């Protein structure tokens, strides 16, 4: 049955009336109209739906919305604000500044179809928070071997992603 749940999504409180076991992905997409995370496999095998919960990547397609209560949910729509807060940017600067990971994804022209890239950027943000200057091997390991599954890209943009993660790492260390 639907309960009222209060979530913290991209820095703002959100009240939703949904059953607690509803996958977070459908709450974000259908109730809150945050369409950055997308449905891929629906069983935590691809990463297209990845979001951050208190800075840690989860697969929104299998995460019950109740699990997100009391935690900070971040989607790609909220990444610029995360960076602005981290860097104490003025409101004017924040409005025109993307998260360095997003900027690197643009500068390196990473997306081909782009369907998986929201999840890829979420994985990159998490990686760079823990490993500020990752080697190629560390990047490959993070995108492949971290539970619950590899982040899959069918267009084959893996090389571009590695380039972009390294570019973002440089930008973030300045």
Partner 1 sequence: MTITRRGFVKMGGALFVSFAVPARFSALAAAAQSSLDPAQLASWLEIRSDNTIVMRTGRTETGTGMSGYYPQVVAEELRVRPETISLIMGDTDQTPDGGYSAGFLSGMENARKVAAYAYQALLQLAATRIGAPVGDLSVRDGIVSGGGKSVSYGQLVEGQHLDLKIPIKGELAKADPAAWVGITTLDGLTVTGEPPLTQLSQCKVIGTSNPMPGIPDKVTGKTQWSCDVTLPGMLQARMIRPATLGSTLISVGDVDKKQFPTAEIVKKGNLVAVLSPSEVEAIGAARAVAAATKWSDWAGLPGSDNVTKIFRAYKWNAPSESRGKAADVTAAFAKASKTISASYEQPYTRHAPIGPFVAVADVRSDGCVTIWTHSSQSQGLRARIAYLLGTTTEHVVVRWLDHSGQYGRTTFGGDGAESDAAILSQLTGKPVRVQWTLQEDLAWSSVSPAWVSDVKLGLDANGRVIALHSSFYSPHMMDPRPLGALLAGMPCATSKPGNWVATEWPYDKIQDRLEDAYGMPNLGAETPSGGLRGNIMRTPGQRQQNFALEGLINEAAASAKADPIGFRLSHTTDQRLIDLLNATAKAAGWEPRPSPKRNARKTGTSAVTGRGSCIMLRANAWWVGIAEIAVIPATGVVQVTKFTIGAEPGKIINPRQLDRCMKSGVVMGLSEALKEEVTFDAGKVTSTNWDRYKILTMEETPEIKVVQISRDDKGFGGGSEAANAVVSPAVAAAFFDATGVHARRIPLTPAYVTTLLKS
All residues at 6 or more sequence positions from 90 whose CB lies less than 8 Å from its CB, including other chains: none
3 binds partner 1 (CB under 8 A): no
74 binds partner 1 (CB under 8 A): no
Find the radius of gyration of the CA atoms of the chain: 16
Strands 3-9, 50-53: pairing is unpaired
Q: Within positions 21 to 60, which residues make up the interface with partner 1, using CB under 8 A? A: 22-23, 26, 29-30, 34-36, 38-43, 45-46, 48
Task: Identify the residue whose tokens are 């991209």.
Answer: 10
Question: Shortest approach of partner 1 to residue 55 CB, angstroms?
Answer: 18
71 binds partner 1 (CB under 8 A): no
Residue 17's nearest CA partner among 7, 6, 3 is 3
7 binds partner 1 (CB under 8 A): no
Q: Which span sits near partner 1 by CB under 8 A: 16-24, 50-58, 82-90, 126-134?
A: 16-24
Beta bridge partners of 17: 4
128 binds partner 1 (CB under 8 A): no
Q: Where are the beta strands (DSSP E) in 50-121?
A: 50-53, 56-59, 72-74
User: Where on the chain is the footprint of partner 1 (CB under 8 A)?
Assistant: 18-19, 22-23, 26, 29-30, 34-36, 38-43, 45-46, 48, 75-77, 80, 98, 102, 105-106, 109-118, 121, 139-141, 143-145, 149-162
């Amino acid at each position: 049955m639907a309960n009222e749940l209060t979530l913290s999504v991209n820095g703002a409180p959100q009240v939703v009336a949904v059953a607690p076991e509803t996958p977070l992905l459908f709450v974000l997409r259908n109730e809150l109209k945050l369409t950055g995370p997308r449905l891929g496999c629906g069983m935590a095998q691809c990463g297209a739906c990845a979001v951050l919960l208190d800075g840690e990547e989860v697969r929104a397609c299998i995460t019950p919305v109740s699990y997100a209560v009391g935690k900070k949910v971040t989607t790609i729509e909220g990444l610029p604000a995360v960076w602005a807060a981290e860097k104490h940017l003025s409101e004017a600067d924040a409005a025109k500044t993307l998260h360095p990971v997003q900027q690197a994804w643009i500068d390196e022209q990473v997306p081909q179809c782009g369907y998986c890239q929201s999840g890829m950027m979420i994985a990159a943000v998490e990686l760079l928070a823990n490993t500020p200057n990752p080697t190629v091997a560390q990047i490959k390991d993070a995108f492949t071997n971290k539970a619950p599954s590899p982040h899959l890209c069918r267009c084959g943009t893996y090389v571009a992603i590695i380039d972009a993660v390294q570019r973002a790492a440089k930008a973030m260390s300045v």
